[in-house]
Structure 1
Amino acid sequence: MLFSFLFTFSSICIYAQTPTNAEKDSLYIVHYEDHKSPDKVLHAEPLFIDLIRDLGARKGEREWNIGMGITDNLKFDSYEALIEYEWAPINRLGLEVELPFTFYSPLNGTETAKVPSNRLNSLKLAAQWSFFVSEEKATSMALGYINEFELSSFDQFAKPLIKGNIYNPFLVVAKRWGTNFHSLLYTGPLIETEFKSNHTHVVYMVNSNFHYMIAGTRNFIGVEFNKSFGPADFDMTIRPQMRVGIADNLLIGIVAGIPVSRENQRLSSFLRLIWEPHHKTH
């Protein structure tokens, strides 16, 4: 009788102390935001065109990213690889250094001479300042700037070393709806200048993002709509994606690319490995 009573009582206590997924979400948000100064809001970050650092970044945060992807460009395949390091030297300021590579492989029937040369695309430097962060409104806004020094292909390396420059100021607005739904808008002009010809090409980027964070986890599923507007031209690629936590400080993102118009390319895929050194346990 006594044993039965103790067993029942302990079962009730264990059940009462086990949080539901909804409670886990709330606890995670509280712990992530932790109501310290300055404010910081939990947002789902897109995986293909990612942010320079978390919105509302706090001093000392840092992250390594390694990315790999493949794109079918009708006449050849392109293989992308990148390594990037991002950190916050002070509250709300994120900085990033990235090295993106592209390697090309001709498809059957395509002459090698018509395939672009392998290259280290650029040295990419970026900064992002979160000028508005409200835990109460679950909203963050940031201004940023990316500068890419375009490099010559490997077969023409240093002839010249830097062949052009890309200027990309941008605005980010993010909103969390409740505990699971996230939206984010990333927009700005992309201005590319080629030094040799002094030619300048301008497109306007509008990237809208929607994500659902899985209850009780850091994992999410979502979609990016990457849109570009140029002179008499419009392109959009839909990128369904998911992020899965492998360990407390290690995440993997998986992205598919579906172009709305297949003028230059067909399907693509992209994989991002995210490592957060000294990431605290939630």
Structure 2
Amino acid sequence: MTKAFLLLGLLLISGFGFAQEDKELQNEIKDSLYIQEIENKSNPDKVLHAEPLFIDLIRDLGARKGEKEWNVGMGLTDNGNYDRYTALVEYEWAPVDRLGLEVELPFSFYYPIQGNTTAPGSKLNSLKVAAQYSFYVSEKHKTSMALGYIHEIELNEFKQYQSSPWITGFVYNPFFVAAKRWGNNFHTLLYTGPVVVHHFDKKSQDLFWQINSNFHYMISGTRNFVGIELNKVATGKDFDMTIRPQMRVGIADNFMVGIVTGIPINRENERFSSFLRLIYEPGHTKKH
């Protein structure tokens, strides 16, 4: 009887082990097929990279002609004396291989916290247009690099439209992106560049640097990932960093949801924040 139980136990353990190995093999096959779908040899070279969710890219690195994507974002930030609710709508597309274009409308709505009476005025922050060109794409080295430029036309608060000019300034932001995938699952990405803000009313300019480093792990057998953005802003006298843990979950073949939490290292400007991004890819269909 004892031998029979031992034999049964060994069979169950063996069966569990085989099941685990089979599941891992299936996930590995799915990973390979998905990467193969992105890095299709019949098309221009493209490497699968995990894209950050808070400060995202203009378009996938190595974008191919005809790709397009809609994003809707919603966020909440605790600024101490008031809460800031944000919303954005953006459309990005690739008119030719490796070139991505984007148009974005970002909104901010401010509400004083109980006990406070003042808060900035709600507004459409700007009309943002951007372009990004991937000048280096290597499937062999699993590496991509791109240069881009964002131009923002800053707008006044809604309540000032009748008494003041609608346009209050320009923002100039050239940037550089470098990304590498390590194996099938691990992804790193650097996004950096200067930001120049030209204020019309003050006839002055502000300059600061964005340095955003990103680390992600794409879960085997899915398009889902978990990761972290380190959003850093540096000026001549100050340095701020916000840590943004995040995850992306695929709801359908062409629809994903991104969830982000913001944890500032220095709370002089803002406290904790949250952000939700809805990602819709028209025309995207699963090929496997």
Q: TM-score, normalised by structure 1?
A: 0.92
Distance in 2 (CA, whole Å) between partners of 1:125 and 1:157 is 22
Q: Answer yes or no: is 1:215 the counterpart of 2:223.
A: no
Partner of 1:24: 30
What SS is found at the alignment partner of 2:150? strand
Work out which of the residue numbers 194, 202, 224 in structure 2 matches 1:197: 202
Distance in 1 (CA, whole Å) between partners of 2:260 and 2:239 is 22
Deviations 1:206-232 (A, max 9, x none): 000000000000000000000000121
Work out which of the residue numbers 115, 119, 124 in structure 2 matches 1:115: 119
Partner of 1:99: 105
Q: Answer yes or no: is 1:88 the counterpart of 2:129.
A: no
Aligned-pair Cα RMSD in Å: 1.6
- The aligned runs of 1:114-263 (5 Å cut-off) are 114-157=118-161, 159-263=164-268
List alignment gaps of at least 5 residues for structure 2: 1-20
Deviation at 1:37, TM superposition (A): 3.3
Distance in 2 (CA, whole Å) between partners of 1:57 and 1:244 is 22
List alignment gaps of at least 5 residues for structure 1: 1-14
Letter in 1 for 2:72: I
| Percent identity between the two aligned chains | 64
Distance in 1 (CA, whole Å) between partners of 2:209 and 2:180 is 22
Deviation at 1:19, TM superposition (A): 5.0
Partner of 1:9: none
Distance in 2 (CA, whole Å) between partners of 1:18 and 1:190 is 45
What SS is found at the alignment partner of 1:20? helix
Deviations 1:15-74 (A, max 9, x none): 989952112111211111111331000000000000000000000000000000000001
Q: Answer yes or no: is 1:40 the counterpart of 2:43.
A: no
Moved over 6 A (4+): 15-18
What SS is found at the alignment partner of 2:37? helix
Letter in 2 for 1:64: W
Deviation at 1:265, TM superposition (A): 1.1
Distance in 1 (CA, whole Å) between partners of 2:99 and 2:280 is 19
Q: TM-score, normalised by structure 2?
A: 0.90
Letter in 2 for 1:74: G
